[in-house]
Amino acid sequence: MVDDIHEREFDFSNADFEKIRRFIKDETGIKLSDGKKNMVYGRLSRRLRQVGMSKFSDYFDMVSANESSDERGQFINAITTNLTSFFREEHHFEFLKKDVVPRLMAENASTKRIRIWSAGCSTGEEPYSIAIALHESIPDIDRWDIKILATDLDTNVLAHGERGVYDIERISALSKMRKATWFLKGKGAKGGSVKVDSRLQSLITFRQLNLMGAWPMKGSFDFMFCRNVVIYFDKDTQRILFDRYANLLSSSANLFLGHSESMHNVCDRFNLIGNTIYKKIK
């Protein structure tokens, strides 16, 4: 990787970029390619100006040394806004497969009905990952009535998700088995892209939704993903949202939040049971 020759306001070496992308991979599961260097510089330059620092190395040392600092959250979110990946924060999907799905299969055995909400779904990698996890953990899934509601405010990212077509680089971190089972590689001019399997698409409905507005759905949802969304709202707004989520979730349903989000001193209707995994209090 070659350093850019363009004049920059701040020095940003390859070593600085390597430290940052290793940190982001460890913290969020997102792999930043070489081509993301300019993006990282642009987004973090704003943070350096905001905190009055002049060196990327000093800024990185500050945010990496203090796990609970507000700036650490700002740092991560500056880079990861509108960045998503398949099976991001994989521990959530492991918990889904090992704990949530077996419980729902037992509790909903008579109805064979499961309802899921992926809020702030961006370009669709999250709901498709949920759909894959469900297929991998429910042997007779064709006999179940399963629906995933995927919502976002941005109609462009929703259209992307609904198409289900991604650059092949987006699935580079997935196992060979998952790639072969759930993605169809394009041919000819489309050789650099993949399309998700129609079995996954059939489970998902993409809809525009403003979380601050009226919600047409009535629930109840058996579990919900709302990751890296509420971090952008103040505590009062978070309190309102969490309360509205609880009203739509079934008894003992799970709510999955993002890597830097918490309900601590915000909402008392959920118990923390794992790493950013909550369970609704009956």
More confidently predicted of 27 and 83: 27
Task: Decide if 43 is catalytic.
Answer: yes
pLDDT in tens, 186-196: 999 999 999 99
Q: Which of 152, 170, 222, 227 is catalytic?
A: 152
**Looking at residue 29, what is its pLDDT?**
58
Domains defined for the chain, CATH in brackets:
14-80 (1.10.155.10), 90-280 (3.40.50.150)
Q: Is 239 a catalytic residue?
A: no
Q: What is the pLDDT of residue 259?
A: 86
pLDDT value of residue 82: 63
Q: In the structure, what pLDDT confidence band is assigned to residue 87 with cuts at 50, 70 and 90?
A: very high
Q: Does 30 have pLDDT greater than 70?
A: no
Q: Are 37 and 16 in contact (CB under 8 A)?
A: no
Structure tokens at 87: 């099976």
| Confidence band of 225 (pLDDT split at 50, 70, 90) | very high
Q: pLDDT at residue 5 above 50? A: no
Average pLDDT, the chain: 91
Instruction: List, for residues 229-275, the tens digit of each pLDDT value.
Output: 887 788 889 999 999 999 999 999 999 999 889 999 999 999 999 99
In this structure, are residues 248 and 221 in contact, taking their beta carbons and an 8 Å threshold? yes
Reply yes or no on whether the pLDDT at 228 is more than 90.
no
With beta carbons less than 8 A apart as the criterion, state whether 161 and 123 touch. Answer: yes
